[in-house]
Structure 1
Amino acid sequence: MTEDKYAASHPSVPDQALLTRCEEAETCSDPSSVMTLLGESDSHNGGFTSYRSTFAKGAVGAPAHFHTKATELFIVISGSLRVLVGEEVTVLNAGDFLAVPPHTPHAFAAAPGSEADVVFVFTPGMGRFDYLRLLSRVMRGEADPKEIAESSERFDNHYVDSPVWRAALADTA
């Protein structure tokens, strides 16, 4: 499905139900993951952004970062996801749920030797699908990584250095 067709069929209209059929959902992919864009709304009631990511074995999902406005929710459908929350690294398994509040550094990757299938929800929403599309283009070498840094305020995605996360990733390299 094209971006224009998706935008036309999934308006960000306040207080309106949103249904996304799996077979109609837009996907973004790179060599290590596939993101299925489920839905987003910038409604006056706070809105949300939701997508599903399937990660290849041991694939890195996101470096350490935080959000100033959004709470990020993780729901692991299958496999195992290694996550950093603050200064602690833990593994989430199928059925586990995690809520990361604003201003909390976090990162995630498929656990070593494991794939991961995860639903992510951001609330309040703020039109993050464009960020996911950009990220996918950067990972495929079709866009400059500087574009991600330049979009940090727009998408409320602020990268930070985490020695704890770097060490955790190095342990499996």
Structure 2
Amino acid sequence: MNEQTGAARHATFTPVHTRAAESETAADPSSVITLLADAGDTGGLLTCYRSTFARGAVGAPPHFHTAAAEMFHVIGGSLQVLVGEEIRVLDEGDFLLVPPRTPHAFAAAPGATADVLFTFTPGLPRFDYLRLLGRVMRGEADPREIAESSERYDNHYVDSPVWREALATDR
């Protein structure tokens, strides 16, 4: 990216400052998602939120994104992650970048809670998707709405025998 292109992109939004006490949360029985900055706030540069997972919580089934890279930074606890066909455990302070089109999944590591900062770049409007997930988990929306929204939110679900086995043996 040349300086001119970067400057033009950065000029399309103002600094984003999200106060923790004023952040919107999307909660379900096993996690709380704190919405920090969506693509519309950042000129499309990124989307960012924080998730806290209860012990044994399953975060997301295997999926991939066609346009965005997804970054994980573990603030506390441990997160079990599928990357391609490999299972990894990320501990406090660990960072992981998953490139576009790479299948991945995540859950609190066995016996652990997890506090994770998620960042997508480029950003896509994902907060409505996270709100939908919360409604589905609470029984307020039909799970089919998630499948129907795959293209809109660049969230494409896949099967992973490796992940199924890991969850079956660890939980």
- State the TM-score, normalized to the length of structure 1: 0.90
For the aligned residue pairs, the C-alpha RMSD in angstroms reads: 1.4
Deviation at 1:55, TM superposition (A): 0.1
Percent of pairs with identical residues: 69
Partner of 1:51: 49
Partner of 2:32: 34
Query: Matched residue of 2:170: which SS?
Result: coil
Deviation at 1:58, TM superposition (A): 1.5
Structure 1: how far apart are the matches of 2:148 and 2:41?
A: 25
2:109 to 111, 117, 120: 111
Tell me the number of residue pairs that the alignment of Structure 1 and Structure 2 aligns: 161
1:63 to 58, 61, 64: 61
Deviation at 1:45, TM superposition (A): 6.0
Deviation at 1:18, TM superposition (A): 0.5
Partner of 1:139: 137
Structure 2: how far apart are the matches of 1:44 and 1:26?
A: 17
The more displaced of 144-153 and 42-51 is 42-51
- State the TM-score, normalized to the length of structure 2: 0.91
Q: Deviations over 1:58-78 (max 9, x none)?
A: 100000000000000000000
Could you tell me which runs of 5 or more consecutive residues in structure 2 were left unpaired when the two chains were aligned.
Answer: 1-10
Structure 1: how far apart are the matches of 2:106 and 2:42?
A: 30
Q: Deviations over 1:56-109 (max 9, x none)?
A: 001000000000000000000000000000000010000000000000000000
Structure 2: how far apart are the matches of 1:82 and 1:134?
A: 23
Alignment of 1:66-77 (within 5 A): 66-77=64-75
Structure 1: how far apart are the matches of 2:40 and 2:140?
A: 28
Partner of 2:170: 172
Structure 2: how far apart are the matches of 1:34 and 1:65?
A: 20
Deviation at 1:16, TM superposition (A): 1.3
Contact 2:16–2:41 at 8 Å: present in 1 too? Answer: no
Partner of 1:89: 87
Partner of 1:4: none
Partner of 1:5: none
Contact 1:57–1:110 at 8 Å: present in 2 too? Answer: yes
Q: Deviations over 1:138-168 (max 9, x none)?
A: 0000000000000000000000000000000
Deviation at 1:44, TM superposition (A): 8.8
Deviation at 1:41, TM superposition (A): 2.5
Structure 2: how far apart are the matches of 1:117 and 1:18?
A: 22
Could you tell me which runs of 5 or more consecutive residues in structure 1 were left unpaired when the two chains were aligned.
Answer: 1-12
Structure 1: how far apart are the matches of 2:44 and 2:52?
A: 27
